[in-house]
């Protein structure tokens, strides 16, 4: 029964349809130079300032594979628990286009660098494996790209960021969808529940955010169900996602599809990898989100929910780990996921743009634990930190917010409060113990929030006896 929750169904007028989704993800390898030339990959440079003779396909120019890009892809493969193929082949994908100077794209077709792997998604109702069919390296009109094609999988789109997160942990792709470092083509088909054959699929291009991916799939699945229910057939075709109209429209039919005439690139020898290299890269792999999550739960006593949030982005877990060098783990988690996230959301910032550094937030939390300031004061200080990212110790000192912990001073305030509230003291002593909180509140008010709550409690208890 639980299985069903992973599946994606549409209730049509004539029955229930199952939606099948496959993603072709294009992720730009994080590398200083291109896959087959020594040109830079820096984003945002002036057009054609990072082009070599190889990139612009001058006569007699030859590609040379960038070892670093190969290693980055192997790392990605290892991070996806995928099979690394010791022998892989670069193929030419032939077609004419103005931004394709060679008249062919160097890609991998029959023998990709990385074979089957998986991404495990943590869902509220359990875990779901998404199959990875292959990962290969390809050149993209001057960019270095590799593909990941999980095929025939049931993807919860709210978690499509998982792949991106893994690659960012690995440092193999920056995952920046705005700059086009990460793009995806989406394949969608539908079939009647219980059918063993897949339906005819359509490929949707131009989907450059996870939100758009979700919108495109929903629209496309409904469109296909409507067509099939009206007794017509789905044409296998490539469609474009129209962001403004939230629809997909035909780009080219199967008949118009290119015959890419793939064949092994004779300029590049088959890529033969040494097992030692793979073992070395395996050893160098950083801790991945799943492993990190397990460690946070086991060693830091965090709940799976908390751990999940912290590992969802590498930068968040980095922030957390920076904080807990100095302060309590549980408190750090709370401050990040509640207070800090509220600020970030409000200002539409990512954690790497946080106005408060991990070091300063950690120092704030430490002051609470040491009893130097109360939780309430801490929130005031936190407000001020957002403006300046000053060391909270400095703010507390400058503003005179240090907690009042002198028993004699506190006793004075307690006595003052009790003498002003004789009636309530009598009520308390005759059994209305709930009033204790009222006295605490009054003491805090008089001390402008600076009184040490623990000490106030102790003194009140003695004086009210």
Partner 1 sequence: MSNISELSLTKIINGIKKKDFTSEEVTKVFINNSQNSKKLNAYISECFDDALKSAKSFDKKKDYNGLLSGVPIAVKDLFCTKDVKTTAGSKILHNFIPTYESTVTSNLWSKGAFLLGKLNCDEFAMGSSNETSFFGNVVNPYGKQLVPGGSSGGSASALAAELTPATIGTDTGGSIRQPASFTGIVGLKPTYGRCSRWGIAAFASSLDQAGPMTKNVEDCALLLQAMSGYDPKDSTSVDAKVENYSSKLTENVKGLKIGIPNEYRVDNMPTEIDNLWKQGIDYLKDAGAIIKNISLPHTVYALPAYYIVAPAEASSNLARYDGVKYGHRAKGKNLIEMYENTRSEGFGDEVKRRILIGTYVLSSGYYDAYYLKAQKVRQLIKNDFDKVFSDVDAILTPSTPSSAFKIGDKTDDPVSMYLNDIFTVPVNLSGLPAISVPAGYDENNLPLGLQIIGKAFDEQTILNLSLAIEKRANFKKNFKVWWS
Interacting residues toward partner 1 by CB under 8 A: 53, 56-65, 92, 94, 96, 98, 101-104, 259, 261-263, 266-269
CB 87, min distance to partner 1, A: 16
Strand pairing report for 15-28 and 143-148: antiparallel
Strand pairing report for 202-207 and 237-242: parallel
In terms of CB distance, is 45 or 62 closer to partner 1?
62
CB 265, min distance to partner 1, A: 8
CB 185, min distance to partner 1, A: 20
In terms of CB distance, is 198 or 260 closer to partner 1?
260
Calpha distance 168→176 (Å, rounded): 10
Calpha distance 407→372 (Å, rounded): 14
Evaluate whether 378 touches 364 at the Cβ level (below 8 Å): yes
In terms of CB distance, is 57 or 387 closer to partner 1?
57
Any bridge partners for residue 127, and if so which? Answer: 122
Calpha distance 107→90 (Å, rounded): 6
Evaluate whether 260 touches 95 at the Cβ level (below 8 Å): yes
Calpha distance 19→220 (Å, rounded): 10
What is each CA distance from 375 to 3, 328, 329, 368, 453, in whole angstroms?
A: 44, 14, 16, 6, 10
CB 61, min distance to partner 1, A: 7
Calpha distance 419→242 (Å, rounded): 73
CB 263, min distance to partner 1, A: 5
Strand pairing report for 9-12 and 15-28: antiparallel
In terms of CB distance, is 255 or 299 closer to partner 1?
255
In terms of CB distance, is 277 or 440 closer to partner 1?
277
Evaluate whether 145 touches 138 at the Cβ level (below 8 Å): yes
In terms of CB distance, is 136 or 372 closer to partner 1?
136
CB 138, min distance to partner 1, A: 16
CB 98, min distance to partner 1, A: 6
CB 38, min distance to partner 1, A: 10
In terms of CB distance, is 113 or 395 closer to partner 1?
113
Evaluate whether 276 touches 282 at the Cβ level (below 8 Å): no
Calpha distance 428→438 (Å, rounded): 10
In terms of CB distance, is 66 or 248 closer to partner 1?
66
Evaluate whether 340 touches 368 at the Cβ level (below 8 Å): no
For the chain, the farthest-separated pair of C-alpha atoms sits apart, in whole angstroms, at 100
CB 101, min distance to partner 1, A: 6
Q: Which helix (H) or strand (E) holds 248?
A: strand 247-253
Rounded to a whole number of angstroms, the CA Rg of the chain reads 30
| DSSP letter (8 states) at residue 234 | P
In terms of CB distance, is 56 or 308 closer to partner 1?
56
DSSP per position, 135-158: EEEEEETTEEEEEE---SB---GG
In terms of CB distance, is 237 or 442 closer to partner 1?
237
Instruction: Show the tokens assigned to 314.
Output: 């590498």
CB 113, min distance to partner 1, A: 16
């Amino acid at each position: 029964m639980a299985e069903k929750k992973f599946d994606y169904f549409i209730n049509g007028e004539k029955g229930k349809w199952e939606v099948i989704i496959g993603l072709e993800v294009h992720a730009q390898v994080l590398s200083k130079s291109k896959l087959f030339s020594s040109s830079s990959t820096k984003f945002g440079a002036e057009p054609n300032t990072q082009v070599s003779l190889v990139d612009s396909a001058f006569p007699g120019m030859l590609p040379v594979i960038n070892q670093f890009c190969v290693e980055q892809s192997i790392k990605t493969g290892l991070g996806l628990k995928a099979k690394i193929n010791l022998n892989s082949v670069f193929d030419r994908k032939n077609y004419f286009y103005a931004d394709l100077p060679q008249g062919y794209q160097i890609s991998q077709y029959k023998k990709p660098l990385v074979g089957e792997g998986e991404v495990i998604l943590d869902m509220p109702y359990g875990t779901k494996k998404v199959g990875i069919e292959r990962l290969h390296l390809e050149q993209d009109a001057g960019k270095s790209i590799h593909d990941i094609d999980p095929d025939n999988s049931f993807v919860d789109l709210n978690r499509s960021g998982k792949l991106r997160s893994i690659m960012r942990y690995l440092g193999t792709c920056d995952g920046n969808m705005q700059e086009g470092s990460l793009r995806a083509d989406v394949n969608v088909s539908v079939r009647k529940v219980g059918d063993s054959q897949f339906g005819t699929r359509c490929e949707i291009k131009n989907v450059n955010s996870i939100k758009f991916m979700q919108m495109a799939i929903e629209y496309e699945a409904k469109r296909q169900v409507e067509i099939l229910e009206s007794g017509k057939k789905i044409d296998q075709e490539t469609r474009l996602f129209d962001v403004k109209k939230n629809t997909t429209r035909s780009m080219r039919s199967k008949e118009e599809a290119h015959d890419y005439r793939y064949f092994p690139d004779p300029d590049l020898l088959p890529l033969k990898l040494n097992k030692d290299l793979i073992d070395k890269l395996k050893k160098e792999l950083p801790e991945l989100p799943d492993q990190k999550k397990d460690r946070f739960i086991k060693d830091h006593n965090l709940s799976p929910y908390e751990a999940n949030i912290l590992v969802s982005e590498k930068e968040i877990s980095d922030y957390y780990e920076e904080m807990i060098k100095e302060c309590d783990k549980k408190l750090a988690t709370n401050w990040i996921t509640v207070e800090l996230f509220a600020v970030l959301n409000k200002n539409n910032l990512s954690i790497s743009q946080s106005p408060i550094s991990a070091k300063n937030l950690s120092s704030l939390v430490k002051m609470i634990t040491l009893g130097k300031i109360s939780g309430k004061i801490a929130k005031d200080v936190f407000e001020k930190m957002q403006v300046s990212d000053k060391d909270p110790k400095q703010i507390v000192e400058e503003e005179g917010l240090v907690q009042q912990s002198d028993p004699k001073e506190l006793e004075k305030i307690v006595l003052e409060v009790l003498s002003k509230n004789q009636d309530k003291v009598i009520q308390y002593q005759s059994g209305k113990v709930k009033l204790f909180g009222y006295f605490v509140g009054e003491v805090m008010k008089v001390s402008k929030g600076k009184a040490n709550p623990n000490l106030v409690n102790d003194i009140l208890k003695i004086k009210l006896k």
